[in-house]
Amino acid sequence: MTTTDQPRDQHAPWIDKERLRQKYLEERNKRLRPDGNDQYLQVRGQLAHYLDDPYSPVAPRAPKADHVTFAFIGGGFAGLATAARISEAGIEDIRIVEKGGDFGGTWYWNRYPGAQCDTASMVYMPLLEETGYMPSEKYAHAPEILAHCQRIGKQFGLYDNALFTPRS
Ligand SMILES: Cc1cc2nc3c(=O)[nH]c(=O)nc-3n(C[C@H](O)[C@H](O)[C@H](O)COP(=O)(O)OP(=O)(O)OC[C@H]3O[C@@H](n4cnc5c(N)ncnc54)[C@H](O)[C@@H]3O)c2cc1C
């Protein structure tokens, strides 16, 4: 990557963005397969129940046909943090669509004994200052991280519009 013959970014002048984009494209193309979705197997039989959500009962509801300004698929850290920031910007009609029964993403689904983060909690857990929450351990266990996701959802009003477990 050259550092001299490309337009320079004010904040990161050493990054050749065009070359970087090209590299990402090359890596993406290496992973594309001609069989597309046919490469995947349908999970059947003994293992099929893992596709269900064991933590939340299905709560039937009518289909939604309204309009929202921002909608996200996925109620993990990414969806929560983005929605929280949008909410801070004053936009209220945000919808998170999540196939699980609650927010948490990774931390909703992974509940095996001893599960914990391996990045320091103070760095890893989002929106700590905004929620005023102090992690109890250097490497927080899964239930604490899940509870923090729920805390973010409540504080930023993200439950109001969310759609969980869409199997009605
Ligand atoms: C045990 C464990 C420990 C980890 N520790 C660390 C760590 O210490 N540091 C670190 O950086 N990372 C760690 N990770 C990685 C972790 O996945 C990420 O840090 C982060 O939580 C990912 O957030 P996300 O929102 O991008 O995705 P996810 O948390 O995976 O959330 C995506 C959500 O989207 C939902 N979804 C997907 N498709 C659909 C659909 N079609 N319709 C509706 N909903 C859908 C899923 O149900 C899921 O809830 C760990 C992962 C595990 C499993």
Q: Does ligand 1 come within 6 angstroms of the Cβ of 99? A: yes
Nearest residue by C-alpha to atom 2 in ligand 1: 117
Task: Tell me the C-alpha distance between 2 and 167, whole Å.
Answer: 52
Classify residue 157 by burial, with Cβ atoms within 10 Å: 0-12, 13-18, 19+. Answer: middle
In the reported structure, the alpha carbon of residue 53 is separated from the centroid of ligand 1 by a whole-number distance in angstroms of 15
**CB-based contact 123:77 (threshold 8 Å):** no
Nearest residue by C-alpha to atom 33 in ligand 1: 74
Nearest residue by C-alpha to atom 51 in ligand 1: 106
Q: Is the pTM of this model over 0.95?
A: no
Question: Would the CA dihedral through 43, 48, 75, 95 be positive or negative?
Answer: positive
Nearest residue by C-alpha to atom 5 in ligand 1: 117
Domains defined for the chain, CATH in brackets: 56-164 (3.50.50.60)
In the reported structure, the alpha carbon of residue 143 is separated from the centroid of ligand 1 by a whole-number distance in angstroms of 14
Classify residue 51 by burial, with Cβ atoms within 10 Å: 0-12, 13-18, 19+. Answer: exposed
Q: Does ligand 1 come within 6 angstroms of the Cβ of 79? A: yes
Classify residue 153 by burial, with Cβ atoms within 10 Å: 0-12, 13-18, 19+. Answer: buried
Task: Tell me the C-alpha distance between 10 and 85, whole Å.
Answer: 25
**CB-based contact 105:149 (threshold 8 Å):** yes
Which of 110, 104, 117 shows the shortest CA–CA distance to 78? 104
Q: Does ligand 1 come within 6 angstroms of the Cβ of 115? A: yes
Q: Does ligand 1 come within 6 angstroms of the Cβ of 100? A: yes
Q: Does ligand 1 come within 6 angstroms of the Cβ of 76? A: yes
Nearest residue by C-alpha to atom 53 in ligand 1: 106
pLDDT tens-place values along the chain, 168 residues long: 555 555 566 777 788 999 999 999 999 999 999 999 999 988 888 877 767 788 988 778 888 899 999 999 999 999 999 999 999 999 999 999 999 999 999 999 999 999 999 999 999 999 999 999 999 999 999 999 999 999 999 999 999 999 998 554
Q: What type of residue sits at position 40? A: Y
Task: Tell me the C-alpha distance between 62 and 111, whole Å.
Answer: 30
DSSP E strand stretches across 6-93:
70-73
